[in-house]
Structure 1
Amino acid sequence: MSAGPVVVTGGGIAGLAASAALASSGFEVTVVERAACIGDVGSGLLLYRNGIAAADAISTRLGEGIRAAGHVVGPEDVRVLMDSAGRVLTRERIGEMSVRLGLPQVAILRSMLQDLLLREGTAAGAHICLGAAVEGYSQDGRRVSVVLSDGTALNGDVLVAADGLNSVVRAAMLRDGPPQYLGYTSVRGRAVGSELHPRTFVVNGLGMQIFVAPADRNTLYWTAKITSPPGVWPAMGQQGALTALLDRIADWHEPVVRMVRSANPADLSVTDIHDRDPVSRWVEGRVALLGDAVHPMAPAMGQGANTAIEDAVVLARSLREHGDPNEALPRYQAARVGRTSRIVLDSRRQGALDQGASREQARARDDVMKQRGRKDAATLDIVDWRPDTADAFDEADRGLSAPALRPGADAAGV
């Protein structure tokens, strides 16, 4: 394929990763983003070996920028898993994973990752169109026309839909209804200058779990996942959610309480957690879904951003190497469906376990962590992904089922 125009919908991590990968591959790219600016949203995230490998594949500069901006997990680093009283369940040797797999884990502020991806894409020539919402699209086999909220249209050879959980493009393509609520919400914040920095830890409570990691030289980011009916926590607003969270953890390990109390409410994100059942159809003609638009997943295994960057790399390479989008896009789909479907289902199961919604379930969760010596079961398998094998998917992926694809002891040192 010649370097023809590509329209990318969505200016989040998925869309910006797609724009950077495509523009760096020589494509003319326009990103359409509903918001008036690409701002500071969310708290932080962890890029595992697979996410770092994907970023490095987009460009060496991007990979180096991520390492410089975030907290690189060292070979001796551990993640303390503990209960709400601060009793240690186990110490997970997260640094050993980096040594074993040859690339580091990097914790980074979401806003910083977005900025790095934006700079990479625009440096390669991508154009960003802000304040415009995509309302629909049409195609004739040779071109795609994207209809915007102001009545104008953008034409391109390919449309990449990275417009998130409630994707307009997905709705038009698949007509499969809304995403499903998983039974818990997420309150995410930051702590600057915390006494706990730079430690990494997970705190288990009844119907709740808090994940904490350093994101830069003086900032911790944290995510509290709270079992709740849908809509309750987002309706509280930022200050209300912070107050309610502090009420919920009032008798927890005091350093953790102080960390949460120090958060600026204006920095908080409060979001109910949803996913979707995996689907086998990602492509319609010259239109392709990417990231949360096609495989939204529970945050329990930290793979949402990582797999979105993977998607971007595989998509760009497929278009670059296979020419005609009518050939390249199905190849992209085939390379990604099995892997991401497995991660969606693993993340769903891990998320349900993490919540410890009843006292029995909370005890079972804590016991599993003690026995395994780690937070989750499948991360090592999942993160050992490399772009040079991204087109391969094995028989286990092909035979994916369940569901079928649809058309304490010591006190913690914290």
Structure 2
Amino acid sequence: MDPVSGGSHVVVAGGGIGGLAAAAALASSGFGVTVLERAAHIGDVGSGLLLYQNGIAAADAISTRLGRGIRAAGHVVGPEDVRVLMDSAGRVLAREEIGEMGRRLGLPQVPILRSALQNLLLREASAAGAHIRLGTAVEGYSQDGGRVSVGLSDGTALDGDVLVAADGLNSVIRTAMLRDGPPQYLGYTSVRGRAVGSELHPQAFVVNGLGVQIFVAPADGETLYWTAKITSPPGVWPALGQQGALAALLDRIAGWHEPVVRMIRTANPADLSVTDIHDRDPVSRWVDGRVTLLGDAAHPMAPAMGQGANTAIEDAVVLAQSLRECADPGEALRRYQAQRVGRTTRIVLHSRRQGALDQGASRKHAQARDGAMKQRGRKDAATLDVVDWRPDTAGPLTEAVRGRRAPDHRPGAEAADR
């Protein structure tokens, strides 16, 4: 059976960035898609993230409209832009030429608010025909021949030809598939927020302290988003709540470079996200029959290289291509797994090492981190190798299937084309 024109139905568990990217890529490829999201609504979550060249290439492959929307909603890093790397007193360690990477690779970096990216993916998935079902959690699955039955929190089940687990770090589907236990805490927590109208806008910078590193990037015309990673025992910072975490962070950075302190002080506690950082040891198995893992459910990673969202969107593109090109869904999922496991394993392990280095948890380690930045003039040693990725496709997924789908004669359909 032709996987596009035959009406195959894909169930996606999770409506985060990975799940919505998968829904957009699959629906644009001609599949019927249902997204099951536990939350009652898809709202304004988190602060911001950085889409590197690999993430932009993946978004462009889903649709040119999505790529344009990301560039319009975020901050497109220009060819002359630099990221200032400094210590807590404001002394400059290096000026990282982040615009140079865009010149070399032909695509920009785009810092963007997480909510803006999620909304763009939601609109793209919906426009492509995906059905988004909110307030519905996935509790397990079973398989019988060529079908997958997905057990739901309301006691019912939903059948599909393929199940994609994009249900995050603590994936229910991964647990059922691999039974590999809980994720591992990496020794630091993350407090993320935004600053509007800061005197530091639109400068991107990183500030190193003892057991603390703060990453800052412009997300749009007036907003900076920031992430503070703080060495800590597990559970301490999330237990403080948003207001308590902001107060504790300000106490922790008292005496730091004053413009940085002022930026943090202006944050709205209601916008803060406080999360202990975990990852998992990489595994080579992501597939069980017609069920597969994607994004954090497959390869959760430390945020040190900013690749979580980028690799999830990559996953979505490769999965859609594999299912579109291979008539046997099981074989398509195994092909997807073979293409993704090696790359994501390397990124998970490098992100773990980079995250440990970034923290500077002791004076000796802080000096080593600062010295490494001075020497190489960059925050991350392997960034260029990681972000130099392109999907194996001749163009956007919608172009690849356009000739195989019935023409749309609705008024305005041509103008809405991706």
Query: 1:81-92 alignment to 2 at 5 Å?
Result: 81-92=85-96
Cross-structure match for 2:75: 71
Counterpart of 1:278 (choices 276, 282, 287) is 282
Question: What is the identity, as a one-letter code, of the residue corresponding to 1:93?
Answer: E
Q: Is residue 231 of structure 2 the alignment partner of residue 231 of structure 1?
A: no
Which of 149, 160, 176 is residue 145 of structure 1 equivalent to?
Answer: 149
Match of 2:226 among 198, 222, 228: 222
Q: TM-score, normalised by structure 1?
A: 0.94
Q: 1:162 aligns with which of 160, 166, 170?
A: 166
Whole-angstrom distance in 1 between the partners of 2:82 and 2:108? 13
Deviations 1:210-236 (A, max 9, x none): 000000000000000000000000000
Q: Quick one: distance in 2 between partners of 1:360 and 1:72?
A: 36
**What amino acid is the match of 1:185?**
T
Q: Does 1:260 align with 2:264?
A: yes
Secondary structure of the residue that 2:392 maps to in structure 1? Answer: helix
> Is 1:25 equivalent to 2:29 in the alignment?
yes
Q: Say yes or no: does 1:184 pair with 2:185.
A: no
Amino acid at match of 1:307: T
Secondary structure of the 1:26 match is coil
Amino acid at match of 2:60: D
- Distance in 1 (alpha carbons) for counterparts of 2:236 and 2:338: 39
Partner of 1:358: 362
* Number of the residue aligned with 2:305: 301
Once the two structures are superposed, what CA deviation does each residue of 1:310-346 show, in whole Å capped at 9, x if it has no partner? 0000000000001111110000000000000000000
Counting only pairs closer than 5 Å after superposition, residues 3-402 of structure 1 correspond to structure 2 as 3-388=7-392
Partner-residue secondary structure (3-state), 1:181: strand
Q: What is the alpha-carbon distance in structure 2 between the residues aligned to residue 107 and residue 141 of structure 1?
A: 44
Q: Which runs of 5+ in 2 are unaligned?
A: 395-418
Task: Provide Cα deviations, 1:182-205, integer angstroms capped at 9, x if missing partner.
Answer: 000000000011111000000000
Partners in 2 of 1:231 and 1:130 — Cα distance?
Answer: 29
Q: 2:246·2:269 contact (CA, 8 Å) conserved in 1? A: yes
Q: Aligned partners of 1:206, 1:140: CA distance in 2, in Å?
A: 55
> Tell me, what secondary structure is at the counterpart of 1:71?
coil
Give TM-score scaled by structure 2 length: 0.93
Quote the Cα distance in structure 2 between the aligned partners of 1:141 and 1:109. Answer: 42
Alpha-carbon separation, structure 2, partners of 1:84 and 1:139 = 55
Question: How many angstroms does 1:282 deviate by?
Answer: 0.3
CA distance in 2 between counterparts of 1:147 and 1:337 reads 27
Tell me, yes or no, if the aligned pair for 1:49 and 1:104 is still in contact at 8 Å.
yes
Q: What secondary structure sits across from 2:60 in the alignment?
A: helix
Letter of the 2:84 partner, please give it: V
* Separation (CA, whole Å) in 2 of partners of 1:32 and 1:364: 45
The DSSP-based 3-state class of the residue aligned with 1:14 is helix
- 2:227 and 2:209 mapped to 1: Cα distance? 13
Q: C-alpha separation between the residues in 2 aligned to 1:250 and 1:173?
A: 47
Asked if 1 retains the 8 angstrom alpha-carbon contact of 2:39 and 2:136, the reply is yes
**Identity, % of aligned pairs?**
86
State how far apart, in whole Å, the 2-side matches of 1:260 and 1:372 are: 28
Deviation at 1:28, TM superposition (A): 0.3
Q: Distance in 1 between matches of 2:330 and 2:37?
A: 26
| Distance in 2 separating the partners of 1:70 and 1:227 | 30
Match of 2:405 in 1: none
Rounded to whole Å, the distance in 2 between the matches of 1:225 and 1:76 is: 28
Q: CA deviation at 1:3?
A: 3.3
Aligned-residue offset at 1:389: 7.5
Computed over aligned residues only, the root mean square deviation of the Cα atoms, in angstroms, reads: 0.8
Aligned length: 390
The answer as to whether partners of 1:238 and 1:265 remain within 8 angstroms in 2 is yes
Structure 1 residue 84, shift from structure 2 partner? 0.2
Q: Is the 8 Å Cα contact of residues 75 and 98 (structure 1) preserved in structure 2?
A: yes
Moved >2 Å (runs of 4+): none
Displacement, 1:141?
2.6
Q: CA deviation at 1:13?
A: 0.3
Looking at structure 1, the residues matched to 242 and 7 of structure 2 have their Cα atoms a distance apart, in angstroms, of 44
> Does the Cα contact within 8 Å between 1:298 and 1:348 map onto a contact in 2?
yes
For 1:326 and 1:264, locate their aligned partners in 2 and report how far apart those are by CA, in whole Å: 47
8 Å contact 2:15–2:36 — kept in the other structure? yes
One-letter amino acid of the structure 1 residue matched with residue 253 of structure 2: I
For residues 11 and 330 of structure 1, what CA distance do their matches in structure 2 show? 23
Give the Å deviation of 1:237. 0.1
